[in-house]
Amino acid sequence: MKFKLLKKEKNTKARCGIISTPHGDIETPVFMPVGTTGTVKAMTMRDMKETGASIMLGNTYHLYLRPGVEVIKNAGGLHKFIGWDKPLLTDSGGFQVFSLQGLRKVTEDGVLFQSYLDGSEHMFSPEKVMEIENTLGADIIMAFDECVPNPCEKEYAIEALERTTAWAQRCRNAHDSKDRALFGIIQGSIFPDLRERSAKEITNIDFDGYAIGGLSVGESKDLMYGMVDIVEPFMPADKPRYLMGVGTPEDIWAAVERGVDMFDCVMPTRIARNGSIYTSGGRIIIRNSIYSKDLSPLDPECDCYTCKNFTKSYLRHLANMGEFTGKQLNTLHNLTFMIKLLATIKTAIKEDRFLEAKEAFFKKYNNT
């Protein structure tokens, strides 16, 4: 993987660049749809390409459990198994350390997980995670870390930070593939001194890119943005910067302004399946009765398949009937909206009018 920084916006820390991978180039800043188990829910790979997505995610822990590493290896790797010929990123399972608290035991060696499927036990060490991720074959893989909850006692946050640093070095030592980029992850919870410490320790290890983990887990927006402000000065300018698990329109504008390049989030797809839609005029709930006879598209400024072919009235009908087609069409639109949002932001950066573009977006987006 190679990263080329193309432009720094003159009024902010916003930047754009290109990440080159064996499966194609990724223009940054970029939003990455989440395909936890090898698929973005309600979407085919044909649909994914129609959104304009240049990269998608998979999750090491879930793919390890089902269908299993051997199945994917036998298929020729994750790209071939899922039918996606563009770049892929795999998370390491570190978020599951946080989200599966009742089903895991953390030690210095790694994490002993109890499968949520059948109760079987599985040990994830940094070395094991590198072995799994390299076998899956994504273009960008993540180091194994410990993500802590919020609120969190500072003593525990320190312990998790120290484990994350130790595991990061072990991942770096175990990673021997030149075909895959390895990103380190900065932790430290909501404690400014720990965030700075973690940023220094992780960036001292020679990774191909650096991620900010452990945010968007219950803290306030201002606190999350504050943590980004703290770590950004310590993140190398010549490496990609990835804010993990964050991806609402509001958060993306705020984080890009602070110098972040990469985002992922389940929010656009999750809310779409429940009938909540992003539009240029703001977020709408398509189930609402006001749309029962509305023959306009979801968003008059969108040219996605959904907006070009279907009305709010029809999409409301599908949602209220529980039809899966509605979930698919809503998801296609929301992902297209996010991809186009990042395209708008990239153009604004290149033209040194980021703040102007941000103001124009929210003048319309909040008008609901």
| Helices and strands, counts by H and E, the chain | 15, 16
Tokens of 99: 């989200």
Q: What are phi and psi of 106, to 5 degrees?
A: -95, 130
Q: Distance from CA of residue 364 to its chain's centroid?
A: 25
Tokens of 327: 């979930």
**Paired sense of beta strands 282-285 and 88-91, if any:** unpaired
Tokens of 100: 């599966």
Tokens of 282: 């703001």
Cis peptide before 67 (omega within 30 of 0): yes
**Which residues are identified as catalytic?**
91, 264
Q: Is there a contact between 261 and 5 (Cβ–Cβ < 8 Å)?
A: no
Q: Is there a contact between 20 and 4 (Cβ–Cβ < 8 Å)?
A: yes
Hey, which residues does 5 pair with through a beta bridge? 17
Q: Is there a contact between 169 and 202 (Cβ–Cβ < 8 Å)?
A: no
Which residues lie closer than 8 Å to 109 by C-beta, 6 or more apart? Answer: 123, 125
Per the rule left: phi > 0, alpha: psi between -120 and 50, beta: everything else, 338 is alpha
Closest CA to 198 of 241, 163, 170, 149: 163
